[in-house]
Each structure stands twice: as C-alpha cells, then as structure tokens.
Amino acid sequence: MRRFVVVAGVLACLVPLVGAMPVLGVGTAPALGKAVVGISASPNPVVVGQRVAHLVDVAVSGRLDAWVSAAGFGQPGLGSLPPGAWWQECCPSQTAGTPAWHYRSFAPVPPGTYRFGAEARRTGSFLSSASVGFAAASVWVRVVQA
C-alpha cells in the first residue's frame, strides 16, 4: 500500500508538468536533420554602436525564450518576435553567466523565423541563446572597436 501511495504521489506531481508541455502530433516534427531551434547573429563580428540582428529559427510550436548578454548589448527590440516581453535578469548560463536580457513569448509560437536587434555597447565576445521546450541553441557574437 505504501508503494502505491508513493507512486500515486509522484504521478500527481508529474501529470501537471507533462500536461503543460506542448504535444507534438504527426506532421509537427521537424524535418529530418533540421534543428528544433537555431539562432544566428549578423553582422558577426559587429562594431560597437552598431545594431546586430539576431535570427531565431523555430521548427516546432512551443514557448520561445531568448537571451542576449546585457554585458555587451543594450535592450533588444521585439522586431518580428511574437507577443512577449524582455526583462533583465542576473547571470544565467544561457549568456555564459553575464547579466542578460531575457525574452519569453506569452504563448506557444508557430514554426517560423523571427528577427530582433540589439545595439552593441562593449567590446568582447558575448553569448546569445534561444530555446523552445527542451531544445536550445546559442551563438557567440564578437563586438569590436571601429
């Protein structure tokens, strides 16, 4: 009886978590060899004071998160990102431990390519990342003097 109670308790904790995850149906999986999420930055390297454009490719529907290092960039704009918000947070691994601008979509986003920009503020190499569900991608952006 005790095992049943423990198993039932564990399942009661997991069911809400699994229910909150997007369900992938037939036809919503990414094409063979295509990543669930990808991120790139252009130009890279970028000159201090210039705007760098980030492109995020999403292959499946899900909640989108993006991080840009606040140590190297000003607050990004929304660009073509789905409705969501940017805020500043301290030091996640998605920006290699530097302060970060963090974007989260308000709802699951459809597959597509999204673009946003941020102004380079300081020289160095800075990590930008994006994730959908458990899939994540990152790009190092180098900022140089003119």
Domain of residue 69, residue span: 35-144
Rg of the chain taking only CA atoms, in angstroms: 18
101 — pLDDT class (breaks 50, 70, 90): very high
57, containing H or E segment: strand 51-58
Block residue for tokens 């991120």: 39
Q: Read off the DSSP letter of residue 110.
A: P
Q: How confident is the model over 102-123, as pLDDT tens digits?
A: 999 999 999 999 999 999 999 9
Instruction: Determine, yes or no, domain membership for 13.
Output: no
Q: Provide the number of structural domains found in the chain.
A: 1
Instruction: Determine, yes or no, domain membership for 1.
Output: no
Provide DSSP, 62-105. B-EEEEEETTTB-PPP-TTPPSEEEEEES--GGGTTS-EEEEEE
pTM, two decimals, is: 0.78
* 125 closest CA partner among 75, 88, 72: 72
Instruction: Determine, yes or no, domain membership for 22.
Output: no
Domain at 108, CATH number: 2.60.40.1530
Instruction: Determine, yes or no, domain membership for 133.
Output: yes
Q: What is d(CA 72, CA 78) in angstroms, rounded to the nearest whole number?
A: 18
Instruction: Determine, yes or no, domain membership for 27.
Output: no
Instruction: Determine, yes or no, domain membership for 24.
Output: no
Instruction: Determine, yes or no, domain membership for 66.
Output: yes
Q: How confident is the model over 36-71, as pLDDT tens digits?
A: 999 999 999 999 999 999 999 999 999 999 999 999
